[in-house]
Structure 1
Amino acid sequence: MLIQFSVTNFLSFRDEVILSLSTNKDNSHKENLLFYKNERILPSVAIYGANAAGKSNLHKAMRAAIRMIRSSNNLQIDQPLLITPFLLDENSRNNKTKFEFIYVYNGIKYEYGFVLDTQYVWEEYLYEYRSSKPSMIFERSNINTYRFTSKSKPQLSKIVDKNTSNKLFLATATSWNSDLTKDAYMWFSNMVDTYDSQNLEELMFKEFEKNDNSLNEFILHLLQKADINITNFNYETNEQLKIMTSHQVIENGKKQEYELNYFDESNGTKRLFTYGPVLKNALENGKTIIIDEIDNALHPAMTKSLIEMFQNPNINKKSAQLIFNTHEISLLDLNLFRRDQIYFVEKDNKTGVSDLYSLDDFSPRKSENIQKGYLQGRYGAMPVVNLEDIEW
């Protein structure tokens, strides 16, 4: 369960921005909330903003940090790190990038962060919360200077020499069987994922190869929920995966069934197919998923239905979370979301710097028309369209 993510100096985010899934004291939609001890956590977050404002850059920041952790052990000595800082001022382009996560795994709350550039990991730290106060597991500074507690030192100090200046100690220690870092690492390995249109379809094909009948049932339920005229589908996983959908129509007063190839279906239908494995996996295992442009090719009612799956405790029994960006303003509704579930990304066109902030910062009334306020520019994060000064 993700509680907070922050990033500094990555792509258009020059200054630190914080995405918090920890709630305020507002009791709106309290039946939808997730819990860690006495802390209330959001099941979903929607992120809005104009084109090129930086919404996808936040998605890329989370993806880059997670991939860095997962792939750290595969790095060769002196292999460059694929990090792009803010490039539109001289100081930032030569400065370091920072990522930090606060999350819960196996009933323990962790705080993990690291600072790096394209060559070295300069700082890194891991804390756990066995009580209300954090306890250090390790701290790293100046690339290769480490601090441990009397409890963690006997085990972790032996692993320092196994690490290199471009690798994350969290990943290295876990690969050397440290039980002090294992759970903190496994959350990144198994419990959080980022998705966009490029990897959704590839993942779906891999999942179908497992021949999981329950996945078929889940996808068919999604399709029928969307009122799509598909009564069934089947697939073959020989040399190449082939999906055939069954459509029932009335022909000459009689019911007839015809098959279509998956690739002949509409983009919206194909998108629901690709969401099937992702949503099923998240809901069954309590994962946090981050989706770029969730509404791509989907009707607003269907997008809303997907979000409501995570906000329904009868469906979301394992505390899964959904973080997504979207342009779909019909979802800007306080009957669907709490005020702290709606975020905006706005870019300063004079500096190129993106900022991230919550609707809750504006303290709108619960009866306020959020859609109207957003379109009127009341919360920022709207494009300024001026066609009059353009020569056509």
Structure 2
Amino acid sequence: MIHILRSEIEGLSLFNNKKVIFDLVTEKNVTEEDVVNGNVKRIDELIDKLNTIALVGSNATGKTTQLRLIKMVISIFLSLDSLNDFENLADQFENTFRFTNYFYNAKTLYKVESSVEKTATGDFAFTEETIYSKKIYPSHKKSELFSFDLSKRGQQELLRRSSLPSEMKAFLRDDDTIFSTVVRKIMNNKVQDIVIDEIDMTNKNKLTTKDTIPVEYIKYFDPSIESIRILSKDAPSEKTNVEVTFKNDSAIQVPLIELSNYLSSGTIKGINLFIDIEKTLKNGGYLIIDEIENHLHKSIIMNIIQMFANTLNKNGATLIFSTHYSEIIDMVPRTDMIYVATKEGNLIQLKKMSQVLGEEDRNDKKKSEVLLSGKLDNTPTYKDLKRVRSKLRSSISETASENNGGASK
């Protein structure tokens, strides 16, 4: 299994300093309890990978954009999708931009530097890539994990795109990464799609699977339903029918696209999520959920988070989600698992909660209270609230004046 540990992207139009860093490893001290409870997965003596990462912030602070970016990175460099599979993100980047990604497998850390440009046709193309490797030894310091020095033992440049033999270049597309050679070798050419995202399903209310739906998943969300069976699985979604059997009632057949008339939004979202969770836990992949609170009770969200933080998660799967609600953040055990999204001017800024709090990062403080206090600049300001109240007051006064004037005529 190859793990992504860190991703740095430079050349982002809407981000502060045109850059974002997304870490998937711990920065605070790790206790044995953290490891035993499954909050982190120890993949090396020096490396503890976070099993859950949360993004929190108010509206329009870039949470969804960041989820799309990390999905893009994992898909291109681990699932070996192409750059141009993500042309919908073109507006996020300047004409030239750069990835620096760090991956780990079997005592080896890989650093992949990738320079990209937008071509005259609007497509993405790699202009240069370099892969470095570093053997991880017990003598290494955790603080220097991502530092590379090719003069030191066990560190080397593995591959450079511009130095590839012409016969290799002939088979390499401009929008495919050269890291594919490393991934295919490690995975014995059995590359799989290890990232599942629910980003575009935030405001959609439809069943996304045509597989058999376990009755346990159904009854967890709605005990009144005995079974849901997909009919005509090979048909397109708009022509697919579903058989639904309710408790003490006969089965009914309905079009898949009309299922929301019979099942609640929470039941449909929950079934979709549980099926995706099962797939993710099986392959040790990544599940990305935007606005996890939509249609789901807090207790269900807590159970979902706990599925990635116990012995069920033996393959080191990762849950990455966003939320508007600070109360949900109290379910996340470590502050270095939490990114706080804010806007500085019109630019997005993403920082770990542990970094923002610094010396004030204490276990006796509820994370939700810190977030709601406004100390992290993640909530609407009091000035903004005063403006809203003033506008409401004037609008109400105008309406009252008009009504009084009309009554006197």
Q: TM-score range by the shorter chain?
A: 0.7 to 0.9
Cα 1:379–1:73 change in 2 (3 A) is: closer
Residues of 2 paired with 1:160 and 1:318: CA distance?
35
Cα 1:283–1:377 change in 2 (3 A) is: same
1:17 correspondence with 2:20: yes
1:47-75 CA-to-partner distances (Å, cap 9, x unmatched) read 00111100011012123345556443989
- 1:344 alignment partner, one of 340, 346, 361: 340
Cα 1:288–1:304 change in 2 (3 A) is: same
**2:226 corresponding residue in structure 1:** 231
Residues of 2 paired with 1:190 and 1:86: CA distance?
24
1:201 to partner: Cα distance: 7.6
Gaps of 5+ in 2: 120-124, 138-153, 396-409
Q: Cα RMSD between the aligned structures? A: 3.4
1:281-340 CA-to-partner distances (Å, cap 9, x unmatched) read 101111122222222211111111111100112x1121111111111322221x642111
1:341 to partner: Cα distance: 0.9
* Aligned-partner SS, 2:130: strand
1:102-117 counterparts in 2 under 5 A?
102-105=102-105, 109-117=109-117
* Aligned-partner SS, 1:115: strand
Question: What amino acid is aligned across from residue 331 of structure 1 in structure 2?
Answer: I
Question: What amino acid is aligned across from residue 68 of structure 2 in structure 1?
Answer: K
Question: What amino acid is aligned across from residue 353 of structure 1 in structure 2?
Answer: L
Cα 1:7–1:345 change in 2 (3 A) is: same
**1:127 corresponding residue in structure 2:** 132
Question: What amino acid is aligned across from residue 359 of structure 1 in structure 2?
Answer: M
Question: What amino acid is aligned across from residue 135 of structure 1 in structure 2?
Answer: Q
1:82-161 counterparts in 2 under 5 A?
84=90, 93-94=94-95, 96-105=96-105, 109-119=109-119, 120-132=125-137, 134-140=155-161, 145-146=162-163, 158-161=167-170
Cα 1:104–1:291 change in 2 (3 A) is: farther
- 1:51 alignment partner, one of 59, 66, 69: 59
Q: Which moved more, 1:239-248 or 1:278-287?
A: 239-248
Cα 1:372–1:282 change in 2 (3 A) is: same
Cα 1:376–1:223 change in 2 (3 A) is: farther
1:245 correspondence with 2:244: yes
Residues of 1 paired with 2:297 and 2:185: CA distance?
41
Residues of 2 paired with 1:107 and 1:202: CA distance?
43
**2:405 corresponding residue in structure 1:** none
Question: What amino acid is aligned across from residue 222 of structure 1 in structure 2?
Answer: Y
Contact 1:346 1:381 in 2 (8 A): yes
Runs of 4+ in 1 over 6 A off after TM superposition: 184-188, 199-203
Residues of 1 paired with 2:244 and 2:308: CA distance?
27
**1:284 corresponding residue in structure 2:** 282
1:349-368 counterparts in 2 under 5 A?
350=345, 352-361=346-355, 362=357, 363-368=360-365
* Aligned-partner SS, 1:231: strand
Question: What amino acid is aligned across from residue 126 of structure 2 in structure 1?
Answer: V
1:171-182 counterparts in 2 under 5 A?
174=180, 178=181, 182=185
**1:221 corresponding residue in structure 2:** 216
1:319 correspondence with 2:299: no
Question: What amino acid is aligned across from residue 240 of structure 2 in structure 1?
Answer: L
1:105-157 CA-to-partner distances (Å, cap 9, x unmatched) read 577543334221212423322233443454332134xxxx33xxxxxx7xx66
Gaps of 5+ in 1: 88-92, 147-152, 249-254
Residues of 2 paired with 1:66 and 1:185: CA distance?
19
Residues of 2 paired with 1:237 and 1:6: CA distance?
45
Residues of 2 paired with 1:323 and 1:125: CA distance?
28
Cα 1:74–1:302 change in 2 (3 A) is: closer
**1:150 corresponding residue in structure 2:** none
Cα 1:344–1:281 change in 2 (3 A) is: same
Q: Which moved more, 1:97-106 or 1:316-325?
A: 97-106
Contact 2:184 2:191 in 1 (8 A): no
1:42 to partner: Cα distance: 0.8
1:167 correspondence with 2:178: no
Q: Which moved more, 1:19-28 or 1:267-276?
A: 19-28
1:161 to partner: Cα distance: 4.1
Residues of 2 paired with 1:378 and 1:187: CA distance?
47
Contact 1:344 1:381 in 2 (8 A): yes
* Aligned-partner SS, 2:66: helix
